[in-house]
């Protein structure tokens, strides 16, 4: 079994017509892809949804942190 410990990978996504880069560990990119496939939405749309939700928080986290937390909650939820 390959080790799950890898440094983050930076990828570009588009949110509301603006490109931004996000650095996530490969396991989180895999989870993001899996959830997007399950919900039949593009990764950009899923990231935009997570971004909108995080901005409603009393103290919004950074986007990469919000994605990690959202993925864990959605998978355990």
CATH code of the domain covering residue 33: 1.10.3990.20
**Any domain includes 18:** yes
Stretch (H or E) spanning 14:
strand 9-15
- Is residue 13 a part of any domain in this protein? yes
* Whether pLDDT at 54 is above 80: yes
**Digit-coded pLDDT (tens) for 1-33:** 567 788 999 999 999 899 999 999 999 999 999
Based on the structure, what is the number of domains in the chain?
Answer: 1
36 neighbors 44 (Cβ within 8 angstroms): no
User: How large is the average pLDDT for residues 61-67?
Assistant: 97
Rounded Cα gap, residues 21 and 9, in angstroms? 10
Instruction: Look up the domain containing 63 and give its range.
Output: 9-76
Residue 24: helix, strand or coil by DSSP? strand
* Mean pLDDT of the region 46-74: 96
Tell me if 63 is assigned to some domain.
yes
Rounded Cα–Cα distance for residues 16 and 23 (Å): 19
């Amino acid at each position: 079994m390959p080790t799950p410990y890898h440094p983050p990978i930076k990828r570009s996504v588009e949110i509301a017509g603006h490109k931004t880069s996000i650095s996530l560990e490969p396991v989180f990119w895999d989870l993001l892809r899996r959830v997007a496939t399950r919900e039949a939405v593009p990764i950009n749309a899923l990231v935009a949804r997570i971004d909108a939700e995080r901005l409603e928080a009393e103290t919004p986290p950074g986007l990469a942190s919000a994605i990690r937390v959202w993925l864990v909650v959605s998978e355990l939820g």
